[in-house]
Amino acid sequence: MGQSIGALGLHKGRDNSMKIVHENPFNGIIALPSFPVVFVTVGSNIMVAAAFHFYSFKPPSVMVGVKPEKYTYELITSSKEFVINIPTKEQLDKIHICGTISGRDKDKYQKASLTPRKANKIESYLIEECPVNLECQVVHQIDYAGSHKWFIGEIREVHIDENYIRDDALMFWLGQFRTVGEVIEGASNDKLLKK
Ligand SMILES: Cc1cc2nc3c(=O)[nH]c(=O)nc-3n(C[C@H](O)[C@H](O)[C@H](O)COP(=O)(O)O)c2cc1C
């Protein structure tokens, strides 16, 4: 039929273009847009995660997906806490280091020349050089079958650099790093920060 691998058929999509129906469910994952990439710190270890998302406004919570074979999974499961550290795009070299070696063998703060600073509300360390740090307590762990296990963390304390520019945040998916992109609608929401 000359269609792409796993294609089941065609139908009309938006603007009369053809929509290909895929048999392989992984193509749905490939079609997803990029996700924020963050450093997850727990104890005195650092790992990189793109499986990261907002979870709830009230209470303010986020979630992170960690593969069970990672040292970080072991550390979060036992300590029930983590810090989300938002990197700058200039820290890409540190992302490559912390996202490829395991803290089981190496001190990644030393390897990546990053400074650990003790968090205020939890026992773990946060990364001083990151403009944003969210201290989180795990309130739920999702061990449902799948490559990543998810931890939901309630935010206990927030550190934000006064010069932080949210639109400079780094995004990642399937081997590609990028920044957020253009604003299509809506004003700047820097003024939403609460007392
Ligand atoms: C850009 C990028 C994104 C990553 N995203 C994830 C992720 O979401 N979940 C995960 O378990 N590992 C992810 N990894 C891999 C871990 O960061 C990596 O395996 C790390 O070495 C684990 O460290 P640890 O063994 O000290 O926990 C990512 C790596 C990179 C470079």
Indicate if 17 and 68 belong to the same structural domain.
Answer: no
Q: How far from the centroid of its chain's Cα atoms is residue 74's Cα? A: 18
pLDDT at 2: 46
Whether 46 is in a domain gets the answer yes
Of all residues in the chain, the percent with pLDDT exceeding 90 is 77
pLDDT at 4: 54
Instruction: Residue 51: name the closest of 70, 41, 37 by CA.
Output: 37
Indicate if 49 and 7 belong to the same structural domain.
Answer: no
Indicate if 153 and 59 belong to the same structural domain.
Answer: yes
State both tokens at 73.
């999974």
38 C-alpha to ligand 1 centroid (Å) = 10
Whether 191 is in a domain gets the answer no
Q: SS3 helix, strand, coil % of the chain, rounded to 5?
A: 20, 40, 40
Torsion of the alpha carbons at 81, 82, 83 and 88, rounded to the nearest 10:
-170
Residue nearest to atom 10 of ligand 1 (CA): 66
**Distance, CA of 163 to CA of 156 (rounded, Å):** 22
pLDDT at 10: 83
Question: Of 191 and 17, which is predicted with more confidence?
Answer: 17
Indicate if 11 and 80 belong to the same structural domain.
Answer: no
**Distance, CA of 83 to CA of 150 (rounded, Å):** 14
Average pLDDT, the chain: 93
Q: In which residue are the tokens 């540190």 written?
A: 94
**Distance, CA of 161 to CA of 167 (rounded, Å):** 14
Indicate if 11 and 81 belong to the same structural domain.
Answer: no
pLDDT tens-digit readout, 13-22: 777 888 899 9
**Distance, CA of 156 to CA of 83 (rounded, Å):** 10
Of ligand 1's listed atoms, the one at least distance from the Cα of 74 is 27
Q: Identify the DSSP state of 76.
A: H
pLDDT tens-digit readout, 43-70: 999 999 999 999 999 999 999 999 999 9
pLDDT at 8: 73
**Distance, CA of 172 to CA of 105 (rounded, Å):** 26
Q: How confident is the model at residue 190 (pLDDT cuts 50, 70, 90)?
A: low
Taking 70 as the threshold, does the pLDDT of residue 105 lie above it? yes
What domain range is 5 assigned to? 1-31
pLDDT at 29: 95
**Distance, CA of 46 to CA of 112 (rounded, Å):** 10
Q: What is the CATH number of the domain that holds 173?
A: 2.30.110.10
104 C-alpha to ligand 1 centroid (Å) = 13
Whether 188 is in a domain gets the answer no
Indicate if 10 and 97 belong to the same structural domain.
Answer: no
Indicate if 19 and 87 belong to the same structural domain.
Answer: no
192 C-alpha to ligand 1 centroid (Å) = 31
> What is the best residue among 47, 74, 141, 173 to mutate for testing ligand 1's pocket, by most ligand atoms within 8 Å of CB?
47
